[in-house]
Each structure stands twice: as structure tokens, then as C-alpha cells.
Amino acid sequence: MAPILYGIDISPPTRSVLLALKALDINYEYKQIDFYKGEHRTPEFLKLNPQHTIPTLVDDDAVIWDSHAIIAYLVEKYGKDGSLYPKDLVKRAQIDQRLHFDSGNIFPLVRRIVLGIKAHQKIIPECLDLAKEQYDFCEKFLEGNDWMCGSTMTIADISLFPTITSLAKLAPYDASSLVNLTNWIKRCETLPFAAVNKKGLDDIDVQLVRKLSSNKKLIIIDFSEASEMAPKLYGFDASPPTRAVLLTVKALGISIDYHKIDYMGNEHKSPEFIKMNPQHTLPTLTDEGSVIWDSHAIMVYLVEKYGKDDALYPKDHVQKAVINQRLHFDSGCVFATIRRAMMDMRKSKTVHPDTIELADVQYQFLDTFLDGIEWAAGNALTIADLSLISSITTLIKIVPHNPSYKNLVSWIERCEKLPFMDINRTGLHDVDAILTKICT
């Protein structure tokens, strides 16, 4: 039976899955959801996907959501070779970083701009500044490369192409100042299946850009290597992603050299650090000359390279897809909410009611995910738990959760009993200190 994809053309994540299906030459059934009539919130759909997100894929008995988890699953199950998602650990980690860059940076920005257009018929200047930053990051990723992760196309390109081009529809950039990005988009547009993306972009034109244009004209944005015996991790304890990697290191029982970065002193923006990681994010890992960033990509890399078994990140395609969905739920929803709450605090010393509501949505989702299971992705501890526990407990420090979410409360208590959780508690103390400083 052919896989069934539930989605909507205007959605960049749906388009990325459609592109992957076309690239892999898979026969599939496409069921378009009437998003505006709430078909994704019907009891039937919620039974499939309690997070009620699209796209959602049904393949035999497996139900998988989050576009990044879906496209990785499709390549691993149906790919004739490994070219779109190579098994080389360093290359795969780099691709994973780009996927989380998409889910944690680009797509949340697209979503925020869309919500602003619908509510106020305008894009706030802060979003334009953020768009410029994301375009600049892409320009650096593409320096010396035809594709996002080197000389060949991968699922990183398939994922980012719909999102970047959607962002460019809403917050256009000056092509003359971003040559690498412009050439990459043109390269993607020559792919034999790129028409899938154009259909969705046309829908954005009709539903969003014209709404903006009727109000006012769109603004155009003018725009070390290291080799050590042990892996070296750059981070700081207050950072949930750093703690997630440290928890993984402890769970694996491996030795690393942990270099604490003076984040408040902008050490991560020094020329030396930017040369190593142009996105200047923490944590960043160096291992035998390879540089990997994004905590989720690092965690997968560490387990696959150093794990004595695959318990923390099973090789089973369906189990792996569920874990990947939880990792992208962390980067694209939970951590994105933390970042938004911290921005609120820095602006007004309080968290905006909309952000409080958004945090509660994340708590509800995770409580639902945990229904009938002990851990975030099943009945065994995986990196999904190690990633989410650091983010969720940080978010709770800023926006307390409702204790009626019994599954969530029990899961946190279960995580707290893990033998290496002192790492998380130390970081949470630092979060307390930062919040106190902001509020005084």
C-alpha cells in the first residue's frame, strides 16, 4: 500500500516532503487538508497526530509527523542509495544541523511573520532583522559549496528550499548582496521536481503577499579547525542545548573536553569562534577535525559514533522517525518558545500572555505524547528525553506548567532520577540567576 501524506501546498514543510517523495520516485497518495476549516483538528486526525501538525505521513502501520523526521525516514526506507542522507557520521551530522536550523530558525520565523500579517497586515522590523540574519547564515553555509552541505544535494536542501523561498516571498532580500544564496535558489529551481515548490509559493502570493501589498509595499532587506584526542565541546551551563549534549555524554560514558564559553561576554561572536561556526551557536563540538553544531545533530553523532549499542537512538526506521520528530518538536517548538520568552523578559521584564499560552500548548503536547508511555518516544530512554528534559525544565523556570499534566509531571520526576541529572540542575541554577538579573 502506498504511503499517505496529509498536507497543504502552502505549507513549506509539506512541500519539503513532496519534494523528497518526487526525488525518491515513490508512489504515494496525497490528501490535502483544509487547514482553514480545521480538518487537522478533527478527532480522526488528532488520533493520528495529537500535535495536529502537517505534514503527517501514514506508511503501513507507522504514523510519522514533522517534515524533517518524515524525509529522513523516507530516504532510509526507500532510498536506492545514501546520497540524499549519507551514512558518513560527520556528513550526516552536518545535514542534521541544517535540518534543525530549518525547524528552529527559519520556519519559526516564517510562522511568526505569517501570524503578524494575519493579525496586523504588516511585518514588524524585528522579524526583518531576523530574516537578514538567517539569510546571512545561509550565505556562509554556501560559501564554496553548490549545496547546503557540500557539492551534492541532500535532504538539507530539500528541507530548506521551500522554507527559504517562502521566507523570501514575505521578506525579500537583495540578490546582489547574497550571491551564494541566490545561486543556490536558482540551482534548486532547475531540479526536475521543483514545480512542487512553485505551487505553494503561488498560494503564498495569493493569500499573504497581496494582503501585505494592499497595506504597503514590501520592504526589501539590504543586506578552526581543531583536532584533539577527546571531543571538545564549547557551551555554557545555562543553555538547554548544551546541557542536552552533556547529558548525552554522561549517558554514553565518554570523555570530552568541556570548554565553557563566556556567552554574556560574546565570546561566541569572536572571529576565532565564527571561523569555526559561522552561525555562532552553542553548543559546538569539535572531534578529530570535524566541527558540528546544533545540539540535536551533536547528540545523534555522539550516539552513532561512540554508543556501545543503539538504545539511545535505535536503528529501526519507525522508532528513529518518532525520536526525530521529538527532537524537532524540541528545536522548533519548545526551545523556540524559550527564546521568545527570554526576548519578552529582556524587553519588559515579563512574559507576554501570548507566549505564556504558547508555552502551555507545548506542555499539553508533551503530556499527550507521554500518554501510555514512560519516556518521550516510547518505553525506553532515548536522546529525545535527554534533549527535551533540559528544554522543558528551563521553560518551566520562566513559565510554570500546570501540575494537572500528570504524564508530564511523572516524566520529569522519572528524568530527575537519572544518575547524571546533576548536570541539568546546575544549569537551572544558572538560569535562575540570569532571570533574577533580568528582573532587577
**Residues 18, 155: Cα–Cα separation, whole Å:** 12
* Annotation marks residue 239 as catalytic: yes
- The strand pair at 257-260 and 62-65 is best described as unpaired
Fill in the DSSP letter of residue 330: I
For the chain, give the mean pLDDT. Answer: 92
What percent of the chain lies above the pLDDT cut of 70?
95
* CATH number of the domain located at residue range(s) 224-440 in this protein: 1.20.1050.10
pLDDT at site 224: 34
Give me the residue spans of the domains in the chain: 4-78, 89-213, 224-440
- Is-contact 64 321, C-beta < 8 A? yes
pLDDT at site 353: 96
324-369 tens-digit pLDDT: 999 999 999 999 999 999 999 999 999 999 999 999 999 999 999 9
**Residues 380, 373: Cα–Cα separation, whole Å:** 9
Confidence category of residue 85, pLDDT binned at 50, 70, 90? very high
Q: Which amino acid is at 309?
A: D
Q: Which of 239, 331, 390, 391 is catalytic?
A: 239
pLDDT at site 221: 35
Phi, psi of 149, deg, nearest 5: -130, 30
Residue 310 host element (H or E): none
Phi, psi of 225, deg, nearest 5: -30, 150
157-185 tens-digit pLDDT: 999 999 999 999 999 988 889 999 999 99
Burial group, residue 79, by CB count within 10 angstroms (0-12, 13-18, 19+) = middle
Q: Above 80 in pLDDT, residue 219?
A: no
- Is-contact 65 56, C-beta < 8 A? yes
402-427 tens-digit pLDDT: 999 999 999 999 999 999 999 999 99
**Residues 248, 312: Cα–Cα separation, whole Å:** 9
Which residue's C-alpha cell is 570523555?
Answer: 255
Biggest alpha carbon–alpha carbon distance for the chain: 61
Please tell me if the domain spanning 4-78 has the same topology as the one spanning 89-213: no
Residues 6+ apart with CB under 8 A from 178: 135, 136, 138, 139, 223
Helix, strand, coil percent values for the chain (each to nearest 5): 60, 10, 30
Q: Above 60 in pLDDT, residue 53?
A: yes
- Is-contact 267 281, C-beta < 8 A? no
Domain 4-78, CATH number (from 3.40.1390.10, 2.60.40.2250, 1.20.1440.120, 3.40.30.10): 3.40.30.10
Fill in the DSSP letter of residue 378: B
What percent of the chain lies above the pLDDT cut of 90?
85
- Is-contact 125 133, C-beta < 8 A? no
* CATH number of the domain located at residue range(s) 89-213 in this protein: 1.20.1050.10
pLDDT at site 36: 80
Q: Above 50 in pLDDT, residue 227?
A: no
Q: Above 70 in pLDDT, residue 223?
A: no
**pTM of this prediction?**
0.80
The total number of residues written for the chain in this structure? 440
Confidence category of residue 126, pLDDT binned at 50, 70, 90? confident
- Is-contact 386 252, C-beta < 8 A? no
113-125 tens-digit pLDDT: 988 887 777 788 8
